[in-house]
Structure 1
């Protein structure tokens, strides 16, 4: 019984000595939010989001996703994905990337849009 009480006291003492998590300090990551909230992309096809040439998310209309990424540059490529909706089939697409520079502690919000060159990201305000 005494050893159990001593262990509990030791754990309490160790937890008091440990630093508390805080959101006030500088963070070592950046938040990237990508949304497909508006009807700017006139297709029911799913859109794949590739970060540094790796499929990282899939978005249907009215969806958004977010990533916690290290600061620095990230290449983002958007692509229509085949298979989930009738009429969405694989084909030749523009394989260009958009290079984004992310800063530590920064929240970046982008919206998917489309023009004659294909899908791209446009920066928007946070709106919070």
Structure 2
């Protein structure tokens, strides 16, 4: 009995020195959420989301997407993509992008809107 109790105490002592698991982990990343949930863009065309000039997502109406990105700056460009719906053909468009600075551990939410210059991003509340 004494050896078993001593072994158990030794095992518990080793567990106390083991590194603890954490759900948070290392938060070197930022979450970027881009939403088309509101009907601010009056088109049924698919919208392409380009991150640093690479097509990263496609959104239809009432959809949202999220990205886990490293902290730092990212260029976001929005573009109407050609598709099967009428009026979604390629044409001349504004090639401007929005530069966002992402902080580690932050959640950033933007919604897609349209103004006289074309598609753009507007900051939105998380509403969780």
Give the TM-score of the pair, scaled to structure 2.
0.83
Q: How many aligned positions are there?
A: 114
- Structure number with greater Rg is 2
**Where has structure 1 moved over 3 Å in runs of 4 or more?**
16-19
Residue 58 of structure 2 aligns with which residue?
Answer: 58
Q: How far apart are residue 83 of structure 1 and its match?
A: 1.7
For 1:17 and 1:59, the matched residues in 2 are separated by 45
Corresponding position of 1:39: 39
Between the aligned partners of 2:58 and 2:82, the Cα distance in structure 1 is 11
Question: Which segments of 5 or more consecutive residues in structure 2 lack a partner in the other structure?
Answer: 1-13
- Contact 1:46-1:84 at 8 Å conserved across structures: no
What are the residue-to-residue correspondences of 1:1-128 with 2, within 5 Å? 17=18, 20-23=21-24, 25-128=25-128
| Contact 1:28 1:71 (C-alpha < 8 Å) held by counterparts | yes
Residues 65-97 of structure 1: per-residue CA shift (max 9 Å, x gap):
000000000000000000242331000100001
Matched residue SS, 1:41: coil
CA RMSD of aligned residues (A): 1.9
Is the 1:34–1:65 contact (alpha carbons within 8 Å) kept by the matching residues of 2? yes
* Cα distance in 2 between the residues matched to 1:88 and 1:22: 44
8 A Cα contact 1:51 1:75, kept in partner: yes
2:6: which partner in 1?
Answer: none
Q: Unaligned regions of 5+ residues in structure 1, if any?
A: 1-12
